[in-house]
Structure 1
Amino acid sequence: MKRILPVLIIIVGLVVVASVALSVKKTKTVDWEESFDEKSNKPYGLSIFYKELPSLFKNQKLRTVYHQPNSYLRANSEGGYGEHVAKGSYIIIGNSDYLYEDSVNELLNFVDVGNTLFLSDYYFSQKIHDTLRIDIDYILNEKDSISYQSLKHVNTKDITLDKNPGDSYFSKFDTINYNILGYSKIDYKHVNFIEIPFGKGHIFLHLEPKAFTNYHLLKEERYKYIEGVISYLPENDVYFDSYGKIQTGYDGDVEKESNLSWFLEQLSFRWAWFTAIIFGILFMIFNAKRRQRIIRIIKPLQNTTVAFVKTVSNLYFDTQDHKNLIDKKITYFLEKIRADFNLDTSVLNEDFITNLASKAGRKKEDIKKLIDYINWLKSKNEFFEENLIKLNKHIEAFYSK
């Protein structure tokens, strides 16, 4: 112990010296990427707006949507597989270029039956342009980086947006049936916020998503402009789009960062951390030789099967890894179907349901509920405990009959 203590003191001293020395030369950089991520505290993230949504829509349910509108709205519609019928306001801010034709169609159907769509972005998909008969143009800010935003019917002061190289505006729309709600101004006013009646509902199109970001909400009284914009929406449940902010590739997996990632972004801590690791490794190398050989204790073999199962189950329970458990339950269920009934499970369609019901001696409608729920789970990106419980009940019901 007396030999180890000086070595530990030296290691701690070197770590502290490296941390202090590097912190002096540390240069902090700001990430100005327009992520529009509701979890991001960076300038162009939406964490402040997202946290204030419950106060803007008091006594209303706020749901965050992590997958494409077409799959989510179909599942949560009359006769769908979801846990409720979607009704209220669907809000999309920035990064809406992922909206392909099937998602646009589902959003329009959602509005047509009496709901609301609020969409804020610099441009929209061609399907929206063609359906609503609108055109968008862009004016470059040649003098400075400041533009002015105003609302037509809400009693708020005009606000300034800095760091704005230009403005998008509606160059063509139905001036008779569409309502003008707001303007942007560089040299002169342009319409950048309109309300469109559609079926029994309404569509709100807004062309300045940066106004919702952390940077602008914390400056002066710009938050009052956003309060005015949101005040046009009805007091209903809110569906906040997050699908366009979590994609890491074509598979649609949610991006997950290490808890250590923020610290490793700090230059001084990063070098101190690596220094500690290096000296820790050196310490283990030079102290690997023991004074006395280890006396091996041979224990009798134990049946650890039950303990292993308990350990693995506790691991999944503690980490709340519902997706992993759901994937495994589906995989093991389909493997047993192949083994017991000699059926191909690569395509879970109507023919498969009919064959399984016939061979298993079950009602076709019961089999259909189980297979439809499995197909629905395969289309999801995020899972909750109730999804796992419901799947387990379906599978247990299949084997209990």
Structure 2
Amino acid sequence: MKKIGPILLVITALVITAAVASGIKKTKTVDWEESFNEKSSKPYGVSVFYNELPKLFKNHKVRTVYHTPESYLRANSEDGYGDHIAKGSFILIGNSDYLGDESVDELLGFVAEGNTLFISDYYFVQKIHDTLQIDVDYASTAKDSMSYMSFETKKLANANIDKNVGINYFSSFDSINYRILGYTKTDEERINFIEVPFGKGHIYLHLEPKAFTNYNMLKDDRYKYAEGVISYLPNTDIYFDSYTKIQSGYGDVDKKSNLSWFLEQLSFRWAWYTALVFTILFVIFNAKRRQRIIKIIKPLQNTTVAFVKTISHLYFDIQDHKNLIHKKITYFLEKIRTDYNLDTSILNDEFISKLASKTGKKKEDVKRLIDYINWLKSRKEFFEDNLLTLNKHIETFYSN
């Protein structure tokens, strides 16, 4: 044991030296990734704008949509399983290229019923270009990488957007029926903000999503430009698209653990590593110490069935319907993957057709079950009827 002291001192000195050296050489870099994430405080996140929405639309709900518009709007329609009927303004800031044709159709149907769609992105998916008959082009900015944003009406505040290697603008659209709302300018002025009437509602297309990011919302008075853009939206409920976050297999948000944040901080990281090193050393040097006699305990009898019944009754008695529903859906989809070798990450019409074909079930019955599962995934609160209905659909699927 006399040799352990010097060894610990040497290791401690090495750890401290490495921590100090790392602290000297380490220079914190800014992450300029354009995530447009409403929970990100990085320069090109949109948390500042997102947190201001309840103030801009007072007395109205701001809902965050973590599912595709196709799934969410179908569930929250007159014929859907949602807890309300979606009415108001649907907002997408950046990363809108994930939209499939069915999601675009749902959004257009949403607008046609008298609602509003606002998209701010550099380009739009081809379905939108073809349906609305618009074209978007790109032009390089001047040497100072600065673009100048302005409105058709002079009552709204203009803004400068820096760190721009280029700008996007509408090169072709229906100038008779569509309304020009704003411009972008480098060497010449070009249109970058238009209003499109569609059915009973309106679509607002904007080509500079960086205007809504934290960097520009907090720099000088550029926030006034974002307020000016949003001022065109009616004073109604807001549906803020957040589907482009990191997704898990079932479309839920995959959040970072608390430990990952600590490891990003230099001081916390080295404190963690130091504690880890000493813990390992403690285990190594104390592994040969005599262990206390462990009392022999007779193993319990195999009461698996009784245990399962007890746990299920416990879940049911404490009204933990959400947990039970999640487990039933998880086990059902796992069985589908195992028995029929089907990918269950996207539960759309194609999946329904494949499942009906492989199982020999009626497509209407399969669709009823899958639609109900998709609806449950969009809910936050669950009741006993939801659990009983899900169980009924699953039993019907296996009994037919």
Q: TM-score, normalised by structure 1?
A: 0.79
Structure 1 residues 378, 272: closer, same or farther in 2, change over 3 A? same
Q: CA deviation at 1:332?
A: 10
Q: Aligned letter for 2:122? A: Y
- SS of the equivalent of 2:44 reads coil
Q: CA deviation at 1:373?
A: 6.0
1:205-264 Cα shifts (integer Å, max 9, x gaps): 000000000111010011111111111001111111111233478x74533322111222
Q: Aligned letter for 1:185? A: K
1:51-71 Cα shifts (integer Å, max 9, x gaps): 111111111111111121112
Structure 1 residues 387, 6: closer, same or farther in 2, change over 3 A? farther
> What residue in structure 1 maps to residue 272 of structure 2?
273
Equivalent-residue separation in structure 2 for 1:30 and 1:317 (angstroms): 46
The answer on whether the counterparts of 1:39 and 1:46 sit within 8 Å (CA) in structure 2 is: yes
The answer on whether the counterparts of 2:82 and 2:375 sit within 8 Å (CA) in structure 1 is: no
The answer on whether the counterparts of 1:87 and 1:237 sit within 8 Å (CA) in structure 2 is: yes
Equivalent-residue separation in structure 1 for 2:210 and 2:324 (angstroms): 35
| 1:347 matches 2:356 | yes
Q: CA deviation at 1:276?
A: 2.4
Structure 1 residues 322, 53: closer, same or farther in 2, change over 3 A? farther
Structure 1 residues 307, 19: closer, same or farther in 2, change over 3 A? farther
> What residue in structure 2 maps to residue 149 of structure 1?
149
Structure 1 residues 323, 45: closer, same or farther in 2, change over 3 A? farther
> What residue in structure 2 maps to residue 213 of structure 1?
213
Equivalent-residue separation in structure 2 for 1:317 and 1:19 (angstroms): 50
Structure 1 residues 160, 15: closer, same or farther in 2, change over 3 A? same
| 1:162 matches 2:157 | no
Q: CA deviation at 1:37?
A: 1.0
The answer on whether the counterparts of 2:150 and 2:183 sit within 8 Å (CA) in structure 1 is: yes
| 1:325 matches 2:344 | no
The answer on whether the counterparts of 1:104 and 1:128 sit within 8 Å (CA) in structure 2 is: yes
> What residue in structure 2 maps to residue 123 of structure 1?
123
The answer on whether the counterparts of 2:92 and 2:241 sit within 8 Å (CA) in structure 1 is: yes
> What residue in structure 1 maps to residue 293 of structure 2?
295
Tell me which moved more, 188-197 or 299-308: 299-308
Q: CA deviation at 1:393?
A: 3.1
> What residue in structure 1 maps to residue 389 of structure 2?
394
Structure 1 residues 17, 111: closer, same or farther in 2, change over 3 A? same
Over the aligned positions, Cα root-mean-square deviation in angstroms equals 3.9
- SS of the equivalent of 2:197 reads strand
Q: Relative contact order: is structure 1 or structure 2 higher (C-alpha 8 Å, sep ≥ 6)?
A: 1
The answer on whether the counterparts of 2:36 and 2:213 sit within 8 Å (CA) in structure 1 is: yes
Structure 1 residues 331, 173: closer, same or farther in 2, change over 3 A? closer
> Is there any run of 5+ residues in structure 1 with no aligned partner, and where?
335-344, 355-366
Q: CA deviation at 1:290?
A: 2.3
The answer on whether the counterparts of 1:156 and 1:225 sit within 8 Å (CA) in structure 2 is: yes
Q: Aligned letter for 2:100? A: Y
- SS of the equivalent of 2:91 reads strand
Q: CA deviation at 1:298?
A: 2.5
Equivalent-residue separation in structure 1 for 2:77 and 2:58 (angstroms): 24
> Is there any run of 5+ residues in structure 2 with no aligned partner, and where?
337-353, 396-400
> What residue in structure 1 maps to residue 132 of structure 2?
132
Q: Aligned letter for 1:84? A: H
Equivalent-residue separation in structure 1 for 2:218 and 2:148 (angstroms): 17
Equivalent-residue separation in structure 2 for 1:388 and 1:330 (angstroms): 20
Q: CA deviation at 1:145?
A: 0.9
| 1:82 matches 2:91 | no
Structure 1 residues 397, 69: closer, same or farther in 2, change over 3 A? closer
1:102-153 Cα shifts (integer Å, max 9, x gaps): 1111111111111100011011111111111111111101321111111222
Q: CA deviation at 1:379?
A: 3.7
Identity %: 56
Equivalent-residue separation in structure 1 for 2:272 and 2:110 (angstroms): 51
Tell me which moved more, 229-238 or 323-332: 323-332
- What pairs with 1:368-379 in structure 2 (closer than 5 Å)? 374-379=369-374
The answer on whether the counterparts of 2:194 and 2:205 sit within 8 Å (CA) in structure 1 is: yes
- SS of the equivalent of 1:171 reads strand
The answer on whether the counterparts of 2:325 and 2:387 sit within 8 Å (CA) in structure 1 is: no
Equivalent-residue separation in structure 2 for 1:30 and 1:322 (angstroms): 43
- What pairs with 1:240-259 in structure 2 (closer than 5 Å)? 240-247=240-247, 252=251, 254-259=253-258
Equivalent-residue separation in structure 1 for 2:325 and 2:368 (angstroms): 14
Equivalent-residue separation in structure 2 for 1:380 and 1:31 (angstroms): 36
Tell me which moved more, 57-66 or 195-204: 57-66
Q: Aligned letter for 2:109? A: N
Structure 1 residues 328, 126: closer, same or farther in 2, change over 3 A? closer
Structure 1 residues 377, 45: closer, same or farther in 2, change over 3 A? farther
- SS of the equivalent of 1:282 reads helix
Equivalent-residue separation in structure 2 for 1:322 and 1:119 (angstroms): 37
Tell me which moved more, 160-169 or 142-151: 142-151
Tell me which moved more, 294-303 or 50-59: 294-303
The answer on whether the counterparts of 1:11 and 1:276 sit within 8 Å (CA) in structure 2 is: no
The answer on whether the counterparts of 1:183 and 1:191 sit within 8 Å (CA) in structure 2 is: yes
Equivalent-residue separation in structure 2 for 1:113 and 1:266 (angstroms): 49
Structure 1 residues 245, 282: closer, same or farther in 2, change over 3 A? same
Q: Aligned letter for 1:266? A: Q
The answer on whether the counterparts of 1:154 and 1:228 sit within 8 Å (CA) in structure 2 is: no
Equivalent-residue separation in structure 2 for 1:179 and 1:243 (angstroms): 29
